[in-house]
Amino acid sequence: MPRPAKAIAQQTRHYSRAQRLEREIVENGLKAARDDLTPPAWLNDAARKEFCRVVDEAGKVGLLDNLDLSILALYADSYSQYIEAAQHLKIEGLAPGGKVNPFQRVATDAAKTILQCSTKLGLAATDRLKLAVGRKTKQESPVDKWLQFIPQPGAKIWDDDE
C-alpha cells in the first residue's frame, strides 16, 4: 500500500529550489475556495451555532475550505444530537426503570462521529499538528567549546626555535 502524500513543507527529503517551487505551485492549485462555508438549511439552531463557531475559529488559520462543508455539517449535526441526548440523560438518568436509556446509544454514536469528523477537520491541536504546513526554520548550531583547542590549517603549533 503506498504511503499517503505529504505537503512539501512536511517533507524531510532534500528538494532543490526548483523542485520545491514546482511542488508548492501544484499544492496551491489543489486548494479550494473558502467563500461558501454557510450552514446548510437542514441543521437545527444548535448545530448552526456550532457550525458558525467552527468556521469562525478555523478561518483564523485558514483550516477549512468549501470541500469540508459536508464533514463540517455532519460534525455540527452530531454535536447537536450529543448535546440533546446528554440533556435527556441528565434528566432521566442512564437506566430509568431498570432499562437502558436509548439516549445513551445516541450520545455514544454522536460522540464517535464528532471525534471522527473533528480529526478529519483538524479541530484538535494534535490533529492540526499533523496538518501543519509551516516551514522548518534553520537554527544555528551551538558553538562547540572545545573547538578553540583544535589547530586551524596553516596555524603554527609549536615554535621551531626551541
pLDDT for the residue numbered 25: 75
C-alpha distances in angstroms, 70 versus 32, 42, 55, 63, 145? 14, 12, 13, 15, 58
pLDDT for the residue numbered 98: 79
pLDDT for the residue numbered 77: 97
Q: Where are the domains of the chain?
A: 8-149
pLDDT for the residue numbered 110: 96
Environment class of 1 (CB within 10 Å of its CB; exposed 0-12, middle 13-18, buried 19+): exposed
Nearest to 120 by CA among 158, 73, 50, 156: 73
pLDDT for the residue numbered 137: 45
The Cβ of residue 142 has, within 10 Å, a number of other Cβ atoms equal to 6
pLDDT for the residue numbered 42: 95
- pLDDT tens over the chain, length 162 residues: 555 565 656 566 777 888 877 777 776 666 667 777 899 999 999 999 999 999 998 888 777 888 888 999 999 999 999 999 999 999 988 887 778 889 999 999 999 999 999 988 888 877 776 665 444 444 555 677 777 777 777 666 666 655
pLDDT for the residue numbered 160: 60
Tell me the C-alpha distance between 72 and 35, whole Å. 15
pLDDT for the residue numbered 135: 42
The Cβ of residue 121 has, within 10 Å, a number of other Cβ atoms equal to 20
Contact between 95 and 101 (Cβ < 8 Å): yes
